[in-house]
Amino acid sequence: MPPVLFDPDHRLWLLRGPTTAYAIRLADDDTVRHVHWGATLTLTEAVKVAERISPAASSFEAVAAVDELAVEGGARFGPPSLLVRFADGTRGVQWRYAGHDVDGGHLRIRLHDRHYPLRLTLHYRVCADSDVIERWTTVENHDDRTPITVLRCDSAAWAAPHRTDYRVSHLVGGWNSEFQLRRTDVAVAETVFTSRRGVTSHHANPWLAVDDGTAGEEHGEVWSTALAWSGSWRITLHRDPVGRTTWTGGFGHEGLTWSLAPGEALDTPVFAGLYTAGGFGAASRAWHGYVRRHVLSHPNETRPVLYNSWEATGFDVDEVGQIALAARAASLGVELFVMDDGWFGARTGDHVGLGDWVPNPVRFPNGLRPLAAEVRRLGMRFGLWVEPEMVNPDSDLYRAHPDWVLHMTNRDRTELRNQLVLNLGRPDTAEWTHAWLDRLVAAHDIDFLKWDANRPFTEAGWPGHGDPDRLWIEHTRAVYRIMDRLRADHPGLRIEACAGGGGRADLGILARTDQVWTSDNTDPVDRIDIQHGFSQLYPAQVMGAWVTDSPNAATARETPLRFRFHVAMAGVLGIGGDLAAWTDDELKEAVELIAAYKRIRPVVQHGTAYRLRGDGTLTAVQYAHGDEHVVLAWCPTRPYGHATAPLRLTAVRPEVVYRDTDTGATYAGAVLLGSGLPLDLPSGDHASTLVHLRPVG
């Protein structure tokens, strides 16, 4: 059956995924209205749903149905998705249906304003192997003389069906505390989730999930959405007094104004949505599958174990020291060596040199080629840290081009971390940025870039530009274009998205990178919660996780090396400690643990994830790949006398007997499901274990 069906008599469209359906219709006034988002339906059943009366219907709510993209105009009083102002001062829109077309799973519905030269295309796209619905909008000015002012242009609006109550799950945080999962009742109000920082931000992530308050990890209906955008964004969740709950989202934030020039079209980023009846765990697994199949460029690759020099050396890097670190890293089994900040220009601290992307001639008298060659001789790939969007005022670049940064006339230029933001919306700045990156990668055959962005936007002006707020869009699009060009011209290049830690993690950046640096906080106790929140949307194969020194640089907490490794093994394993200070016993243990990770890596990075919770403070994650299973369990603290009970697994087959590849112990699948897996945890705090199960025979 085709993924998109149309009933011309009722002017209704039905989009079908493997287990879900989404239905919309044209109202009498040619507005596109929401009908259904949930369990699978036939076209006949969807027509009957469309006849239902909204609980908001009354003489005070002339528009009682839910718009697919709400506009200003008529008796609409909720948050609009599209706000425009025409040259004569008129605001609001009245639509006329102008047709639709279907290309496989891609539905386009075309609407024209009845009087003004504004045209809108609503895009819907479904794939045969996913229940995720991709939605975005194209808005066009068909006047050849007069611009149209755009005050708001969201990608999509979503609606949950009527329920007695509603709860929202979302991610909050800050630097060193990203991806903290919060669940709270949806207020009868407008609740805004946003970043005004120019990047996705540490403080919120453009993902949210709505349920009726009863869903759990493995049961209950969940409606969730994720915006594929790496700049400023806003999602407005609205619950009205009669119980209807909707949300709308897209790029930009309140207060911005864009001018749609004569003949210009503006495409919004994808705002994707997913329904499941299997709880938050099923929602996460469906998102993980979507990311792997439809977002990542190299989903079948296995990410290497990397070493990063930052915590060992800080800014004090040179050829001799980096080669010594590389030798130690290689002896542990590391596969990718990444030199962090301090290798370029006059960079001796965060106050100088950023923007001068040439190797420091004193620290690297022969350039970077000798280091790169030695890293490869040791059997590793070679990577570099870069921060292409930023500049120190104390740099040759800024002295030559002070107009290239974000700034406003007659306003101070606020420095954060002693740096300013380059305006990559400017074609000359963006082209220069691409050129030096292209030269750097080509000259050294660089395998990996850690692309950082360590500060938000301030004084985000563009003096002399006729539409200065466009920089909030064009900067992010320029980052995308530069990354896309680099990857096209250098097919072997892999990129990690970093923004002072997890400040730029979203589906937009993942379409042109391979992994995300989850947080600058590598404390394993804190990382358990950070990684739990991250896993709500993103799969393990994009989650960078390092083992660093004890006491931890951020928290001063002391933890065993084994515990640090077991937490980091839940993602893409990296090492970030000062290896010169590790004892012989620690180095020996690290060799064994890295080898263990390589054995389980295919299951962790490519398997299906199940979040588990045991008794007390025990948490765990189980990865299933075919009939192979990996369990990582962590118990940061426990009261005296409380032994950990067996951990009940999921996704194992009850009729199969499984063997622990380390101990040789065997377990019936039915026992693992019913009674649980006995855990051999060390005594005391910061206990952890790794169990690798394979079928017997």
Binding-site positions for substrate read 175, 340-341, 417, 450-454, 498, 520
d(CA 437, CA 417): 23
318 among known catalytic residues = no
- For residue 165, give both structure tokens: 């109550």
- For residue 435, give both structure tokens: 């050129």
Among 230, 143, 155, smallest CA distance to 503 is for 230
Among 301, 292, 304, smallest CA distance to 538 is for 292
Given 356, 447, 452, 514, which residue is catalytic?
A: 452
Pairing of strands 336-339, 381-386: parallel
| CA–CA distances in Å: residue 351 to residues 393, 415, 417, 419 | 8, 10, 7, 7
∠ CA 532-186-16, rounded to 5°: 75
d(CA 422, CA 435): 15
d(CA 570, CA 597): 9
d(CA 484, CA 440): 16
Given 67, 212, 356, 520, which residue is catalytic?
A: 520
DSSP string, 565-633: HHHHTTSEEEE-S-GGGS-HHHHHHHHHHHHHHHHHHHHHHHSEEEEEE-STT-EEEEEEETTEEEEEE
452 among known catalytic residues = yes
Phi, psi for residue 577 in degrees, rounded to 5: -90, 175
| CA–CA distances in Å: residue 146 to residues 239, 264, 403, 580 | 37, 11, 30, 66
Burial 8-34 (b: 16+ CB within 10 A, else e): eebbbbbbbbeebbbbbbbeeeebbbb
Catalytic residues: 452, 520
